[in-house]
């Protein structure tokens, strides 16, 4: 994975960022890797605090609901200024309401206006750079989500705006994960895009014994910070997995066994085929969701072993460093931090584009 930032190694980073809706710190981690100074992460979820503070060195965690947060208060708390060319505001708001996944949107209704709240801070600070990352649905519903009016405001206020849906697999992440990304730049007239990777990475490049992941069985509990832990499964589920072909197999391996076939799939061999499916060694992983540790919630079975992905395997496929420390009261809590995160490697490549753009005008 490349690191082609055009800056002297002993220079202090000049671009400074505030990461709204920071979660467990995936975006902040990648921005720091790119050489950007992260001042703070803002989130209303207290469960993110310990993980964020343990990994994002030098940044404050501000527990706040953006609906109640005032721009002037943030200005004084972080000692940041308006119209600062070196300021980057990042907004990766929770995106369940605009997701294509067919789930109950009732709990997510409040989140549908988070982009508009983020825009309020952008309008106030008028930073040199703005980054928005979200599900592709915000672009498909750009008027309803507030994206159309936000882009219009940015353009009217002299920002050069890039926005598109990118697959993180093209940017050094061993995972097919399509995300909407906006990078706005008012420092130069250049349209900035995330920096693509030279090669694409696969599951084999990322997990497995050669990458430091020992063989384990379902139910294994890793008491160290490495967290190579995985939930247990029933004997019936184990029997099913033993019939799923190694390296990319799916539930068709047990569909003709009356003891193993699930009633909900009888006569529906081509529906939800990823359920109980294995990852392929030589392909990118599917999107790592918040349920990646469950064999029945997608193609999350280990390519060879009869179990789901471990917590650390999911985090590594998301490109979190292997020494990244996650905190939570349950495996589900930690998996949510991981699955909801922006892959740090992708965030780094967004940050690199900004760093290179800024450094070009300093030379």
SS3 per-residue string spanning 122-169: HHHHCCCEEEEEECCHHHHCCCCCCHHHHHHHHHHCCCEEEEEEEEHH
The pLDDT mean for the chain works out to 90
Distance CA(292)–CA(301), nearest Å, equals 9
Identify the pLDDT of residue 269: 61
Minimum mean pLDDT range among 70-79, 98-107, 161-170, 227-236 = 98-107
Q: Please report which confidence band the pLDDT of residue 208 belongs to, taking 50, 70 and 90 as the band edges.
A: very high
Question: DSSP state, 104?
Answer: -
Q: Which residue has the higher pLDDT, 313 or 266?
A: 313
Identify the pLDDT of residue 245: 95
Question: DSSP state, 108?
Answer: T
Domain range 16-200+343-360, CATH class: alpha beta
Identify the pLDDT of residue 102: 47
**Helix (H) or strand (E) segment spanning residue 317:** helix 311-317
Identify the pLDDT of residue 110: 56
Asked if the model's pLDDT at residue 285 lies above 50, the reply is: yes
Task: Output the pTM of the full model.
Answer: 0.92
Distance CA(148)–CA(169), nearest Å, equals 27
Residue that is written with structure tokens 């900035």 in the block:
192
Q: Annotated catalytic sites, by residue?
A: 95
> Do 26 and 344 touch, CB atoms closer than 8 A?
yes
Q: What would the pLDDT profile of 48-59 be if each residue is shown by its tens digit?
A: 999 999 999 999
**Residue 22, phi then psi, degrees to nearest 5:** -75, -20
Q: Percent of the chain scored above 70 by pLDDT?
A: 88
Q: What would the pLDDT profile of 137-158 be if each residue is shown by its tens digit?
A: 888 878 788 899 999 999 999 9
**Residue 99, phi then psi, degrees to nearest 5:** -75, 150
Q: Please report which confidence band the pLDDT of residue 261 belongs to, taking 50, 70 and 90 as the band edges.
A: confident
Q: Please report which confidence band the pLDDT of residue 5 belongs to, taking 50, 70 and 90 as the band edges.
A: very low
């Amino acid at each position: 994975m490349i690191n082609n930032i055009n800056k002297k190694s002993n220079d202090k980073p000049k671009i400074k960022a505030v990461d709204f809706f920071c979660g467990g710190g995936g975006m902040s981690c990648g921005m720091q890797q790119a050489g950007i100074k992260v001042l703070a992460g803002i989130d209303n979820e207290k469960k993110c605090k310990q993980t964020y503070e343990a990994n994002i060195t030098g940044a404050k965690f501000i527990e706040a609901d953006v609906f109640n947060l005032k721009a002037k208060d943030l200005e004084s708390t972080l000692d940041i200024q308006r119209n600062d060319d070196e300021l980057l505001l990042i907004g990766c708001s929770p995106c369940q309401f605009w997701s294509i996944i067919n789930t109950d949107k009732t709990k997510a209704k409040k989140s549908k206006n988070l982009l508009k709240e983020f825009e309020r801070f952008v309008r106030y600070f008028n930073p040199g750079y703005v980054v928005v990352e979200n599900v592709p649905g915000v672009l498909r519903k750009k008027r309803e989500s507030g994206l159309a009016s936000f882009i219009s405001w940015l353009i009217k206020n002299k920002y050069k705006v890039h926005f598109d849906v990118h697959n993180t697999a093209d940017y050094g992440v061993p995972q097919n994960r399509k995300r909407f990304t906006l990078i706005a730049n008012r420092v130069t007239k250049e349209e900035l895009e995330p920096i693509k990777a030279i090669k694409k990475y696969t599951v084999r490049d990322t997990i497995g014994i050669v990458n430091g992941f020992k063989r384990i069985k379902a139910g294994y509990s890793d008491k160290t910070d490495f967290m190579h832990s995985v939930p247990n499964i029933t004997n019936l589920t184990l029997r099913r997995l033993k019939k799923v072909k190694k390296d990319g197999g799916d539930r068709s391996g047990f569909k003709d066994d009356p003891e193993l076939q699930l009633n909900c799939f009888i006569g529906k061999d081509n529906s939800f085929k990823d359920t109980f499916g294995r990852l392929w060694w030589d392909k990118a992983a599917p999107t790592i969701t918040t349920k990646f540790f469950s064999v029945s919630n997608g193609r999350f079975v280990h390519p060879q072993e009869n179990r789901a992905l471990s917590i650390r395997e999911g985090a590594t496929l998301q490109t979190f460093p292997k020494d990244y420390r996650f905190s939570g009261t349950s495996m589900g809590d930690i998996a949510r931090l991981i699955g909801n995160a922006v892959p740090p490697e992708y965030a780094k490549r967004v940050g690199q584009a900004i760093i290179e753009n800024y450094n070009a005008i300093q030379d």
